[in-house]
Amino acid sequence: MKKFIYILLGSVSIIIFYFILVNIFPKSAGRYPVYVLLFLLDLYLYSSLHRKIWSWKKPKAIVFTFLYWLPALMVLVLIFGSILIPFIYWNKSFETYLVGLILISYISKLIPIIFLFISDMIRFIRFIFRQARRKKKIQGEKISRSVFLKRVGLIGGGLMFGGLLAGIVKWVHDFRVREEIIRIPDLPPSFSGFRIVQFSDLHLGSWLSKKDLEEAVDIINDLDADVVFFTGDLVNYSSEETFKFEHILSKIKTRMGVYTILGNHDYGDYVKWKTPEAKAKNLQELYNFYRRIGWKLLRNENMIIKKGDDKIAIIGVENWGSMKRFQKFGDMDKAIRGAEDVPVKILLSHDPTFWEYKVINFRQTIDLTLSGHTHGGQVGVEFPAIKWSPAQYVYKYWAGLYSSMNMTAGGEQYLYVNRGTGSIGYPGRVGILPEITLIQLY
């Protein structure tokens, strides 16, 4: 009877939390089954540890149990705190570190869970085939395979937690300048050596220090750009995040301007607004912010840059992502209007899937597309011979330079995916460092 009551209470709680999540974070509702699975895995891991934990002295067991369930407690603080105070009004430092600690805790727990699952599967298979045997106690083999796997998992989880914590403290603003030379056959002579600086995905709500952003701006200015492109996601949730950084971002200097587009986070879709008018006002505040700092926002439109009689087109589309939960506002036909006859076209598209689905075989060749969005996964490995990140299982084009022939119009087309200059969710970087890109055209 007691087990039935626990199951009933758990089921009711899952349903209640779903409706709370839909109301507070509407864009995250589709991930709810994943959150439930993580909680069930959390219970699974604890069930394998609780007997050992409670064999310790009671104060030690209580402390360890509290620390184990602290991430789940933080999730409850996040959910119920957002009911009392809308998430967009939270202290940014508290919000960033709360979400970050929740993420690194559950990611770290996945390591021992995997090893525990392997251990349990081995025991299950042995049971099915009745292969379990009594093993003689031999010196040097006092630990069973099952216990060994569990310990390896716990050690691995600890190392993962330490590494992710270091990514928050040490590498989150360890900026890297990546340089590319791209050769475009029809590039007008006066644009040879044209210097483009791209940065992306600042997510200003995750920045706790103005000093770090000032460093990024100094790096951009030191690159002596002809033009600077910011490829979307200036904020996490609301335009209010931009206000304290206005003076810093207005310092970016170029010879031919700063151009920007909207990313999926810029529309205010990730929080619940009191009224549609409040949401529209939030977006208008972002437009006004760009106007004040002198950046040109391109919303399915283009600008022609000229050097004497030579010219290239800068085309910017609104966000378009192939996944259902992302906006599909990008309109290539509208954006290119008036620039069809310009010999070289550079496209700004926040989500690289737009290039994959809408640009590769577009009726005209788009020489270069600049995107962001993926953050390179923020965690991964990058060496000359090895390039890996969880992002590659979600995005075909997730970091760096790619090329493809346009099978409709002919001509080679390039895509560059910036790894992001900021962070979101996990407020850190491990292996995939924040990027500022310098591209030279020839």
pLDDT, tens digit (0-9, with 9 covering 90-100), for 202-240: 999 999 999 999 999 999 999 999 999 999 999 999 999
Each residue's pLDDT tens digit, 400-419: 999 999 989 889 999 999 99
Pick from 437, 316, 421: which is nearest to 373 by CA? 421
| Between 2 and 329, the higher pLDDT residue | 329
Structure tokens at 122: 């081995």
Task: Give pLDDT, residue 28.
Answer: 63
Task: Give pLDDT, residue 162.
Answer: 94
Evaluate if residue 294 carries a pLDDT over 90.
yes
Rg (CA), the chain: 25
Q: How far apart are CA 82 and CA 236, in angstroms?
A: 16
The pTM assigned to this predicted structure is: 0.86
CA 149-152-155 angle, to 5 degrees, is 150
Task: Give pLDDT, residue 134.
Answer: 52
Mean pLDDT of the chain: 90
Evaluate if residue 51 carries a pLDDT over 80.
yes
Evaluate if residue 34 carries a pLDDT over 80.
no
Task: Give pLDDT, residue 27.
Answer: 64
**Window from 14-23, 195-204, 367-376 with minimum mean pLDDT:** 14-23
Evaluate if residue 30 carries a pLDDT over 80.
no
Average pLDDT over residues 280-300: 98
In sequence order, the β-bridge partners of residue 305 are 312
3-state secondary structure the chain: CHHHHHHHHHHHHHHHHHHHHHHHCHHHHHHHHHHHHHHHHHHHHHHHHHHHHCCCCHHHHHHHHHHHHHHHHHHHHHHHHHHHCCHHHCCHHHHHHHHHHHHHHHHHHHHHHHHHHHHHHHHHHHHHCCCCCCCCCCCCCCCCHHHHHHHHHHHHHHHHHHHHHHHHHHHCCCCEEEEEEECCCCCCHHHCCEEEEEECCCCHHHCCCHHHHHHHHHHHHHCCCCEEEECCCCCCCCHHHHHHHHHHHCCCCCCCCEEECCCHHHHCCCCCCCCHHHHHHHHHHHHHHHHHHCEEECCCEEEEEEECCEEEEEEECCCECCCCCCCECCCHHHHHCCCCCCCCEEEECCCCHHHHHHHCCCCCCCCEEEECCCHHHCECEECCCCEECHHHHCCCCCCEEEEEECCCCCCEEEEEECCCCCCCCCCCCEECCCEEEEEEEC
The top-scoring range by mean pLDDT among 160-164, 176-180, 268-272 is 176-180
**Window from 74-78, 109-113, 215-219 with minimum mean pLDDT:** 74-78
Task: Give 247's pLDDT tier (boundaries 50, 70, 90).
Answer: very high
Task: Give 10's pLDDT tier (boundaries 50, 70, 90).
Answer: low
For residue 381, what are the CA distances in angstroms to 157, 384, 386, 429? 18, 10, 7, 11
Task: Give 82's pLDDT tier (boundaries 50, 70, 90).
Answer: confident
Pick from 134, 189, 138: which is nearest to 344 by CA? 189
Average pLDDT over residues 258-262: 99
Domain range summary for the chain, segments of one domain joined by +: 2-170, 176-441
Evaluate if residue 341 carries a pLDDT over 70.
yes
Residue type, 81: G
Number of other residues whose CB lies within 10 A of the CB of residue 134: 5
Task: Give 22's pLDDT tier (boundaries 50, 70, 90).
Answer: low
Task: Give 39's pLDDT tier (boundaries 50, 70, 90).
Answer: confident
Task: Give pLDDT, residue 147.
Answer: 78
Evaluate if residue 63 carries a pLDDT over 80.
yes
pLDDT above 70 coverage of the chain, percent: 90
Task: Give pLDDT, residue 127.
Answer: 74
Task: Give pLDDT, residue 23.
Answer: 67
**Window from 4-13, 138-147, 175-184 with minimum mean pLDDT:** 138-147
Task: Give pLDDT, residue 271.
Answer: 86
Task: Give pLDDT, residue 33.
Answer: 80
Task: Give 138's pLDDT tier (boundaries 50, 70, 90).
Answer: very low
Domain 176-441 in this protein, CATH class: alpha beta
